[in-house]
Amino acid sequence: MNEVIRIEDPDDPRIAEFVGIRERDLTRGEGRFIAEGTVVLRMLAAAHAAGRGFRAEKVLLLENRLEGVSDILAAFPPEVPVHVASSQVLDRIAGFHLHRGVLALGRRIEPKTPADMLAGLPERALVVAAFGISNHDNIGSIFRNAAAFGADAVLLDEACCDPLYRKALRVSVGSVLSVPYSRAGSMAEILTSLSAEQFDVWGLSPAGEREVSAVPASARMALITGTEGEGLPPAILSTIRTARIAQAPGLDSLNAATATGIALYTIAMIKGRLNGG
């Protein structure tokens, strides 16, 4: 059984990592992150148990949520402490009204480089790469799409925001903890790694050379998307094959996460990765 500790004082040092979480998300460091909500807590428990490179360090709950998540807590090792607090105390700890009432402190261990990530993938693989994505909603949605459509990994360059940011993790419904990923290196370095591992690389662009539904299937495919607004740089587009998504006239382009989702679904169907494929 996990030890249950009641917290009466919001300044209790045992829950110091949860204090002011909204302001501290971007400066937490050391691979630590806050998992918020029942769904993400369940994903953290599964990732911890499966050895996917994530560990839970402690849990903080609204006192009346303890029984409802007891099955999830049972999946954590007994050394992971569970703290409970009243609504008033929990809100003072978090710095805002926490209506979900479920928090956990997690840590990512031994993150991989893009090259190491790709080297460990199966012979037939589908990868998503994103460059310069600064919006946490987009990052979270890209991971959710990757999980939904069977991508084997997500590669982010060093200019992308951290997918372990609380909001990105929540938007991904915990998929950041289930889809293997790397966040390191430049666009050029990631493309070099993809080429070295024999991936067919397709970049999303409104001016793509062919419709995404006409992209031929291959054993190893990588779908890449660029920054919100500007997209992929011309220097990159000139070195890879490009695909477009047909849309009604009058709109410049789709949201990065939406475009990635549509393209992933289409390519996953082409590769026969989905039930309908």
Give the domain-ending residue among 108, 129, 162: 108
Judgement on whether residues 68 and 124 belong to the same structural domain of the protein: no
DSSP state of 113: P
Judgement on whether residues 250 and 226 belong to the same structural domain of the protein: yes
pTM of the model: 0.93
Judgement on whether residues 198 and 133 belong to the same structural domain of the protein: yes
Judgement on whether residues 100 and 214 belong to the same structural domain of the protein: no
Q: Give CA–CA dist 181/152, Å, rounded.
A: 9
46: exposed, middle or buried (C-beta count within 10 Å: 0-12, 13-18, 19+)?
Answer: middle
> How many structural domains comprise the chain?
2
Nearest to 215 by CA among 152, 264, 174: 264
Q: Is residue 171 part of a domain?
A: yes
129, β-bridge pairs: 155, 224
Judgement on whether residues 153 and 252 belong to the same structural domain of the protein: yes
φ/ψ (deg, to 5) at 221: -125, 140
Where does the chain have alpha helices with state H?
21-24, 38-50, 70-73, 87-94, 114-119, 136-148, 166-171, 187-196, 234-237, 256-270
Q: Is residue 122 part of a domain?
A: yes
Range of the domain at 70: 4-108
Residue 203 is encoded by which pair of tokens? 């970049």
The pLDDT tens digits along the chain (277 residues) read: 688 999 999 999 999 999 998 877 655 667 899 999 999 999 999 999 999 999 999 999 999 999 999 999 999 999 999 999 999 999 999 999 888 899 999 999 988 999 999 999 999 999 999 999 999 999 999 999 999 999 999 999 999 999 999 999 999 999 999 999 999 999 999 999 999 999 999 999 988 999 999 999 999 999 999 987 789 999 899 999 999 999 888 777 788 999 999 999 999 988 787 765 4
CATH number of the domain at 41, please.
Answer: 3.30.1330.30
Nearest to 146 by CA among 131, 163, 128: 128
Judgement on whether residues 220 and 260 belong to the same structural domain of the protein: yes
Q: Is residue 95 part of a domain?
A: yes
Q: Is residue 276 part of a domain?
A: no
Q: Give CA–CA dist 66/4, Å, rounded.
A: 9
Judgement on whether residues 71 and 48 belong to the same structural domain of the protein: yes
Judgement on whether residues 91 and 141 belong to the same structural domain of the protein: no
Q: Is residue 218 part of a domain?
A: yes
Query: Are 266 and 204 spatial neighbours (Cβ–Cβ below 8 Å)?
Result: no
